[in-house]
Amino acid sequence: MTEKIHPDIEAIRISEAEIAARVAELGASISRDYEGRDLVLVGILTGSTLFLADLVRRIDIPLSFDFVAVGSYGADTRSSGVVKILKDLDEPVESRHVLIVEDVLNPAMARRVAYLMENMSARRVASVRVCTLLDKPTRRRAPRTLSLLRLLAAAWLALAVVLPRSGHAADEPDPLFDVLDEEGAEAEPGSFPDPFEGVNRSIFAFNTVLDRWALDPLTNSYRVVVPRPVQRAIVRVLANLNTSVVFINDTLQADFESAGLTLWRGVVNTTVGMGGLLDPSTALGVPGHRNDFGITLARWGVASGPYLMFPVLGPTNLRDSVGSVVDLAFRPSTFLLWGTDALAYATIQGGSMGLTERASALEGLQALRTSSIDYYAALRNAYFQSRVAALREALGADWEPR
């Protein structure tokens, strides 16, 4: 009897038997390479679940498995380039051998996998590798009637576990990312370099205590006591005071059109908008934008330098910390208020962490804290992703971190 298939499926190009045979080979290879090691398989939700279930049954050494969910797509289904953990691991993986499992590896998923590898490495794992069933190295346009297996048929030869054929799993370069390099879809780093991690973690521990006992209660009080319209007005006033910073950096980046619009906004909002309490410029079709000297340095090709954690002020990097100091000199309020406005403009990822910014970010920070096994590593990666997104918004989507 002929097997019935869905009318939208043109043909099955890789049979169930072929996939089962290949999964068996992968299980045998993993069993050999990880024998005597504390192995944990990390499946990426939700696509990897069926593949992971089949794979676990073909591995004959002791292991455990866990799941993580990551996201990078915006509302329009195009990748935003920003990766975040939506569901973290339930158990610590420190000193264990991590094998990330994903069924289909396409360019968007490759970015997520690279982020996860960096994230797992920050958790002091013994090793981190990747196992994939199907590789889709390029983005393809296909008629709606083509099945997933048909779409991936060209990747049949790439059905392989990303492990060396012999020896130990951590002893050789990862062929997955060699392939990605050849295809021009290499994965970017998941965070800024952190050579001072020991010192940074100590400062981070101090900041965490300060947040819990001082800044979080202060922020909650601000949100309760100050009416929402007043909070928005304060944000507008601070943005207006920052006009000179945006204007000078627009000019330094030779973006004279944006510089002219920024100057126009500053004049209109300072006069008609009563010092920025109102924002008539946006109502007239001239919205504002952020810019800072850190972005200027990035446009000039200056590398980020090491990741830094400052007391009270929080995470930054060497390039952006230098940019923050320069921006203080660009801001007239620095001289008018003798630097007392520094808290409101204390920078993290190019934005202020005074009460106004902290109030808007509080839920996100608390959610990250409670959902992360390693809050320090999670915050470092979140800062990296957020800052890269801001830089790409300013410098173009093709800008690459350095």
Instruction: With a cut of 90, say whether residue 307 has pLDDT above it.
Output: yes
Give the chain's mean pLDDT: 76
Q: Which fold has domain 16-183?
A: Rossmann fold (3.40.50)
Segment 60-79 mean pLDDT: 70
What residue segments make up the domains of the chain, in order of their start?
Answer: 16-183, 197-395
Between 19-33, 166-180, 274-288, the lowest mean confidence (pLDDT) is in 166-180
Question: Mean pLDDT: which of 171-175, 286-290, 332-336 is highest?
Answer: 286-290
User: How much is the pLDDT for 170?
Assistant: 40
> What confidence score (pLDDT) does residue 181 get?
39
Residue 346 has pLDDT above 80, yes or no: no
Q: Tell me the pLDDT tens digit for each residue of 199-255.
A: 999 999 998 898 889 877 887 888 889 898 988 888 898 889 889 999 999 999 999
In three-state form (DSSP H/G/I as H, E/B as E, the rest C), the secondary structure along the chain is CCCCCCCCCCCCCCCHHHHHHHHHHHHHHHHHHCCCCCEEEEEECCCCHHHHHHHHHCCCCCEEEEEEEEEEECCCCCEEEEEEEEECCCCCCCCCEEEEEEEEECHHHHHHHHHHHHHHHHCCCCEEEEEEEEECCCCCCCCCCCCHHHHCHHHHHHCEEECCCCCCCCCCCCHHHHHHHHHCCCCCCCCCCCCCHHHHHHHHHHHHHHHHHHHHHHHHHHHHHCCHHHHHHHHHHHHHHCHHHHHHHHHHCCCHHHHHHHHHHHHHHHHCCCCCCCCHHHHCCCCCCCCCHHHHHHHCCCCCCCEEEECCCEEEEHHHHHHHHHHHHHCHHHHHCCCCCHHHHCEECCEECCHHHHHHHHHHHHHHHHHCCCHHHHHHHHHHHHHHHHHHHHHCCCCCCC
Give the pLDDT of residue 275: 92
The pLDDT assigned to 157 comes to 34
**Does 63 or 346 have the greater pLDDT score?**
63
Averaged pLDDT, 366-393: 79
pLDDT for residue 317 is more than 90: yes
- pLDDT score at 77: 41
Q: pLDDT digit string (tens) for 119-137?
A: 887 788 888 888 888 766 5
* Weakest mean pLDDT among 5-9, 52-56, 148-152, 259-263: 148-152
